[in-house]
A and B are shown apart, each in its own frame.
Chain A
Amino acid sequence: MGDVPSNTGHWEHFAHGADIGVRGFGASKAEAFEQAALALMNVIVDTARVAAQERIAIACAAPDDELLLTDWLNALIYEMAERNMLFARFAVRIHGTSLTALAYGEPVDRERHHPAVEVKGATYTELSVRSEGAGWLAQTVVDV
């Protein structure tokens, strides 16, 4: 895990009846997880407004890739609530079904960030982590 997160890959949102889906694509599973985290953050805020000035370490382990993704996103949701922070960049490493990561962000500034909505939790709905073509996809629906 380096201090400079990868900038390849991309993320998108997808529709869910009541809430919103987050989907990350990457050359590796770890990058897909980073991008899914960016998709999560962009549910809340335009991450271009968030400075990556503080660094938080996160670790989680799960029985399988899908639960690892929800654990990762839920760990971020918890850190955001607990620290009153927003994150804009991520560096993830995955070994088997364990994950270590750094999340970069800053405290919430309501005037500057205009956060739209808080996320209650990452669900198991439309949950999938899979290789796709030459890369990886990681997605789930988050409850807002």
Chain B
Amino acid sequence: MDLNLLQRRSDYEWEIPQHGAMRVPAVIYASEQLMRDMDHKVYEQTVNVATLPGIVRASYAMPDAHWGYGFPIGGVAAFDPEQGGVVSAGGVGFDISCGVRCLRTGLRRADILQVQKELASALYARIPAGVGSTGTIRLNEHEMDQMLTGGAQWAVNRGWGTADDLERVEERGQMKHAKPGNVSPQAKKRQRDEMGTLGSGNHYLEVQEVTAVFDPKVAEVFGLALGDVVVMIHCGSRGLGHQIGTEFLRRMAIAASQFGISLPDRELACAPIASDVGEDYLGAMRAAINCALANRQILTHLVRRVFADLLPQARLPLLYDVSHNTCKVEEHRIDGGTRKLYVHRKGATRAFGPGHPDIPEPLRAVGQPVLIGGSMGTASYILAGTRESEALAFSSACHGAGRAMSRHQATKTWSGRRVVDELAARGILIRSPSMRGVAEEAPDAYKDVSAVVDAAEAVGLARKVARVDPLVCIKG
């Protein structure tokens, strides 16, 4: 990105002043190096988002921002329904409520090393992953609607988890105001065989070791210590969410002109929050959030069964579950008052600071856990939300490393087998149905996740608590 186009506000804050059709300025949080490496498309897309009706304060991009669809990946924008604000299917994306869930295990590295190969093979055998994989759960029409209304709560009621889990999931495991009736039969059919599946692409399940603790006090509250083993799951709302995204993107793109909305990019497809299509989307999108929460809950159950067989001493309580592709109604302080805003986070994690009432009570004093997935074979991070993040970006932080290289280039650069062998030599076991998929997700195809979280911490979006490194990775 050409830095001459931006005004530097601090070491990690870059502003694009309001110009042209922009209704608010745009702000990118990143180090100078991350900015220099960032695609110019992030500039264009962050500016485009700033032109949408009812946007409040600024269009934001997180340190891991990269070229997305309409919104940049790593984009955050809040809209006020009282000011003609919009909801954007493009601003949430195809993988609605894609997110990360972290389970503690009570185990140590040595426990895993004794059974590492068996554990990798058992997880790979029991967790449906990759193209063409199907789950064992089939839902009839009534059950599908119950799942879309109940989310993780529905899954727990079916026996896939415990009530304690729900306290550690955003929205207490159930997104309110979901409308299964707004979800098309096609979307439901697409989900029919996909409950409890991981998906593919950058989705994964990892067994990880805590390799660094940056904030011992908060780590203790989170239940993390050096050498502890955790399980991290990254996936979303599967085919149902993809189909809802597809259908509403089209509907909103066509309807935009009827609302007098001029779209600089069709992918920014949106509609007024107070419109039929806006309300239809919100009901369907919330149902997809419940689908993602239920899916991650079922995967949790499958993981626990594998551990129960191989490491029966392990208990796997949930640390936290966060989504990073959503639009949520939240109250935020604006100009000395409180306003109800529709906050879009597209590849960005909600990061409530200490004291926020939506944080589970045992964690409330230290801030919400913010789970940052790395790329395959590299570190992931566990952060905590800060109070300053509300004023910086409506309590949001980064979500991952962000790609540095296209999939196309990655497959030209690496072979999947070589990547698997090199990671095995470093003690990291990869299991995947596709070597080409592994090549596309090669560690060096991504930005340095450490630089991303360092920037997030330096600017105050969240603070580092612990780093985790993989021991086993199941890749879809």
**Number of residues from A at the complex interface, CB < 8 A:** 39
Cβ contact within 8 Å between B66 and A123: no
Cβ contact within 8 Å between A123 and B267: yes
Least CB separation from A14: chain B residue: B408
Q: Does A1 lie at the interface of the complex (its beta carbon under 8 Å from any beta carbon of B)?
A: no
Cross-interface CB contact of B434 among A63, A82, A115, A143, cutoff 8 Å: A115
List residues of chain B with CB within 8 A of the CB of A113.
132
Encode contact with B along A81-119: 1 for CB under 8 Å, 0 otherwise: 110100000000000000000000000101001111110
List residues of chain B with CB within 8 A of the CB of A44.
131
Q: Does A6 lie at the interface of the complex (its beta carbon under 8 Å from any beta carbon of B)?
A: no
Encode contact with B along A38-74: 1 for CB under 8 Å, 0 otherwise: 0000001100000000000000000100110011001
Most B CB within 10 A of own CB, among A14, A18, A70: A18
Least CB separation from A20: chain B residue: B407
CA distance A19 to B202 in the complex (A): 10
CA distance A84 to B94 in the complex (A): 19
CB distance from A62 to the nearest CB of B (A): 8
Cβ contact within 8 Å between A118 and B408: no
Cβ contact within 8 Å between B190 and A82: yes
Cross-interface CB contact of A144 among B39, B67, B254, B407, cutoff 8 Å: B407
Cβ contact within 8 Å between B243 and A78: yes
**Number of residues from B at the complex interface, CB < 8 A:** 49
Cβ contact within 8 Å between B131 and A118: yes
Cβ contact within 8 Å between B69 and A143: yes
Cβ contact within 8 Å between B132 and A115: yes
CB distance from B277 to the nearest CB of A (A): 16
CB distance from A120 to the nearest CB of B (A): 4
CA distance A123 to B193 in the complex (A): 24
Cβ contact within 8 Å between B406 and A17: yes
List residues of chain A with CB within 8 A of the CB of B201.
117-118, 120, 144
Cross-interface CB contact of B267 among A67, A117, A125, cutoff 8 Å: A125
Cross-interface CB contact of A15 among B243, B408, B434, cutoff 8 Å: B408
Q: Does A10 lie at the interface of the complex (its beta carbon under 8 Å from any beta carbon of B)?
A: no
On whether A114 and B434 interact (CB within 8 A), knowing A120-B242, A143-B93, the answer reads yes
CA distance A15 to B239 in the complex (A): 24
Q: Does B54 lie at the interface of the complex (its beta carbon under 8 Å from any beta carbon of A)?
A: no
CA distance A93 to B243 in the complex (A): 25
Cβ contact within 8 Å between B407 and A110: no
List residues of chain A with CB within 8 A of the CB of B406.
15-17, 20
List residues of chain A with CB within 8 A of the CB of B456.
none
Q: Does B2 lie at the interface of the complex (its beta carbon under 8 Å from any beta carbon of A)?
A: no
- Which of B303-311, B331-339, B435-443, B463-471 binds A? B435-443
Cross-interface CB contact of B250 among A70, A78, A141, A144, cutoff 8 Å: A70
CB distance from B417 to the nearest CB of A (A): 12
List residues of chain A with CB within 8 A of the CB of B254.
63, 67
On whether A124 and B253 interact (CB within 8 A), knowing A18-B67, A18-B403, A44-B131, the answer reads yes
Q: Does A127 lie at the interface of the complex (its beta carbon under 8 Å from any beta carbon of B)?
A: yes
List residues of chain A with CB within 8 A of the CB of B253.
67, 124
For the complex, would chain B's binding face be called helix, strand, loop or mixed by DSSP majority?
A: mixed
Encode contact with B along A126-144: 1 for CB under 8 Å, 0 otherwise: 0100000000000001011
Q: Does B245 lie at the interface of the complex (its beta carbon under 8 Å from any beta carbon of A)?
A: yes
Least CB separation from A109: chain B residue: B132
Least CB separation from B268: chain A residue: A124
List residues of chain B with CB within 8 A of the CB of A9.
none
List residues of chain B with CB within 8 A of the CB of A20.
406-408
List residues of chain B with CB within 8 A of the CB of A18.
66-68, 73, 402-403
CA distance A144 to B407 in the complex (A): 10
Q: Does B152 lie at the interface of the complex (its beta carbon under 8 Å from any beta carbon of A)?
A: no
List residues of chain A with CB within 8 A of the CB of B249.
121, 123-124
Cross-interface CB contact of B266 among A84, A115, A124, cutoff 8 Å: A124
**Cβ < 8 Å to A, chain B residues 75-104:** 90, 93-95
Cβ contact within 8 Å between A17 and B39: yes
Cβ contact within 8 Å between B407 and A81: no
Cβ contact within 8 Å between B69 and A13: no
CA distance A16 to B408 in the complex (A): 9
List residues of chain A with CB within 8 A of the CB of B434.
114-117
Cross-interface CB contact of A108 among B132, B266, B440, cutoff 8 Å: B132
List residues of chain A with CB within 8 A of the CB of B364.
none
List residues of chain B with CB within 8 A of the CB of A108.
131-132
Cross-interface CB contact of B245 among A15, A71, A120, cutoff 8 Å: A120
Closest 9 CB pairs between A and B?
Answer: A17-B67, A108-B132, A115-B131, A15-B406, A116-B436, A124-B266, A120-B94, A120-B242, A124-B267
Known: A121-B249, A123-B267. 10 other contacts (CB 8 A): A18-B66, A67-B250, A74-B246, A81-B242, A84-B193, A116-B436, A117-B434, A120-B201, A123-B94, A144-B200
| Subset of 9 A-B contacts with CB under 8 Å | A15-B408, A17-B67, A18-B402, A45-B131, A115-B434, A118-B201, A124-B253, A124-B269, A144-B200
Give B residues with C-beta under 8 Å from A: 39, 41, 66-70, 73, 90, 93-95, 130-134, 186, 189-190, 193, 199-201, 239, 242-243, 245-246, 249-250, 253-254, 265-267, 269, 402-403, 406-409, 433-437, 440
